[in-house]
Amino acid sequence: MGRRSRASLKFVEEVYHRTVEDYDSRWRLLDDTLYRLCRENHGHSNLEEVCAKLWIIGRTYATGIERQVLSKRTQGSSLSQVADYLHSKAAAVDNILATLKFVSEPLSPSGLRIIVSAHGQLVKLLTQITRKKRPP
């Protein structure tokens, strides 16, 4: 490895470590709280649990999924439709998310493949409720 490559690698490692420190000092508690919400309410057969997770996670991360679903012109109708849809597809959602239990940190290429695959499956599932059947 040449001098330039070693310097680039050192820079990338320094950025990575700074990013981890920033995450630990600012965002870890937020993620841990959301993970706990999902662990304690892991299924999708209970509409109340689906609504709590969808609204809290969707709003926290500003996913904007509600902008992809036609409103019924009432407050929160788009997110309510998504919650109802996910609840109606509880078994499929639970099967997709079950694959993530095999992923642990630090992430590996195989773990990343599992995450990307699960994400793709969820997006595909959600296209059935979005405008023009487009990914959210």
33 and 52 co-located in one domain: no
Question: Residue 40's pLDDT is what?
Answer: 96
Residue 95 in this model has a pLDDT that exceeds 90:
yes
CA distances 49 to 26, 57, 92, Å, are 27, 12, 16
Q: By residue range, what is the domain housing residue 115?
A: 42-136
7 and 62 co-located in one domain: no
Answer yes or no: are the C-beta atoms of 99 and 117 closer than 8 Å: yes
54 and 33 co-located in one domain: no
Q: Which residue has 């680039």 as its token pair? A: 8
CA distances 113 to 46, 72, 130, Å, are 29, 37, 25
Answer yes or no: are the C-beta atoms of 65 and 93 closer than 8 Å: no
Q: How far apart are CA 23 and CA 13, in angstroms?
A: 15
**Tens of pLDDT, residues 109-128:** 999 999 999 999 999 999 99
Q: What is the pTM of this model?
A: 0.80
84 and 119 co-located in one domain: yes
126 and 115 co-located in one domain: yes
